[in-house]
Structure 1
Amino acid sequence: MKKVKQSELKKYLSTKSDVELKKEILELFKLYPNVQEYYYLKIYPEKEEEIMEKYLQIIRDEFFPERGVPTLRYSIMRKAISDFKKISKTPKNIAELMMSYVEFGVDFTNVYGDISARFYNSIFSMYEKTISYILKNNLQQYFKERCRKVMEKSRGIGWGFGDDMECLYYENFED
């Protein structure tokens, strides 16, 4: 299927009346939960942390479900972050979600023991993205200490994971 370009969409939308446009938006709203969340935050921007908590719970449940065994579906966790980024207007909340993924991952390996190279690559990659995002958005004052703590908790973890976390931390934060 060919991807629709923004210019093509604009041309299509220009052929619609205000009533027809409203009808289309309402149809999208009914069909897609992420569109519902998008408009929820447009109408109630002060409720962003409430929506963030939903995505945080998705990630938490992959590592530490209330019942059953952890599933560690990396695609589900990355999608939760990606979906939240699409609707969030607050970089601090996005960084919070990303940082929580890393913290849950380090806590998970400290609870369950040595995991796998894929697991450590996923957690380290998110740590790298999180630090980059924090620096890009000047959020060091909120997250530097958490980055340090998660790095310290990773010391001694196998596959060179702890060493990589430490190097990344000190490359980006001067102490």
Structure 2
Amino acid sequence: MGKQINYLSLSDLKKELKTLDHKELTSIIVNSYKLNNEVKQQLSVKFNREDMVERLFHKYKKQIVDEFFPDKGFGKMRLSHAKKAISTYKKLTDDQEGTLELMLIYLETGVSFTNTYGEIDERFYNSMSSMFDKVTDHCQKEAIVFNKYQTRLKEMVENTEGIGWGFHDELSDIFYSKMA
């Protein structure tokens, strides 16, 4: 059994970074950029925000859609992969509107998937209901967001008519308690 690795704490890292000169800091950042794709994406967003946010949005949107409807073959429906795409996008860009849009894409694609292939399982519907709840919470807090997404959310509820596991009833309850 190996020993547990004790990484440098964030506060200790900050103390150490304060002791370095500009050249040493630059070297650390460049090496981190080379080693880690998320660091590369984060720094690209920092220094080329508009272009990178758009590119990342499309990258993560494709990842979400591909879990259900890939260009070739059948979807793997790995909900954790689709949700990770949303959380990674949010973490990298801090783009609230884009994150909400990805959440809606997840929901719309999931509803389309179940309408195409039939009943899934309780885990699937729980994940969809939970995401729907988060989106409607956000819409409930901001009138502009509410107005922008109300029609899409209502259509989503309507598109679940006849789906089992109480899915339609759950989305209806959430929607009409928050949005109507």
TM-score, length-scaled by structure 2: 0.90
Aligned residue among 41, 52, 59 for 2:57? 52
Partners of 1:24 and 1:134 in 2: how far apart? 41
Aligned residue among 131, 147, 151 for 1:145? 151
> RMSD of aligned C-alpha atoms?
1.6
Answer with 1 or 2: which has the greater Rg: 2
Task: Note the residue ranges of structure 1 that are not aligned, 5 or more in a row.
Answer: none
Instruction: Indicate whether 1:102 and 2:112 are aligned.
Output: no
Deviates more, 1:116-125 or 1:130-139: 130-139
Contact 2:140–2:179 (CA under 8 A) maintained in structure 1: no
Distance 1:43 1:95, change over 3 A: same
User: After the TM superposition, which residues 59-78 of structure 1 pair with which residues of structure 2 at under 5 Å, given as runs?
Assistant: 59-78=64-83
**What letter corresponds to residue 17 of structure 1 in structure 2?**
D
Instruction: Indicate whether 1:168 and 2:174 are aligned.
Output: yes
Where do 4+ consecutive residues of structure 1 move more than 4 Å? none
Aligned residue among 39, 43, 47 for 1:39? 43
TM-score, length-scaled by structure 1: 0.92
Contact 2:136–2:179 (CA under 8 A) maintained in structure 1: no
Partner of residue 28, structure 2: 24
Aligned residues: 174
SS state of the match for residue 66, structure 1? coil
Contact 1:106–1:153 (CA under 8 A) maintained in structure 2: yes
Identical positions, percent: 37
Task: Note the residue ranges of structure 2 that are not aligned, 5 or more in a row.
Answer: none
Partners of 2:119 and 2:43 in 1: how far apart? 42
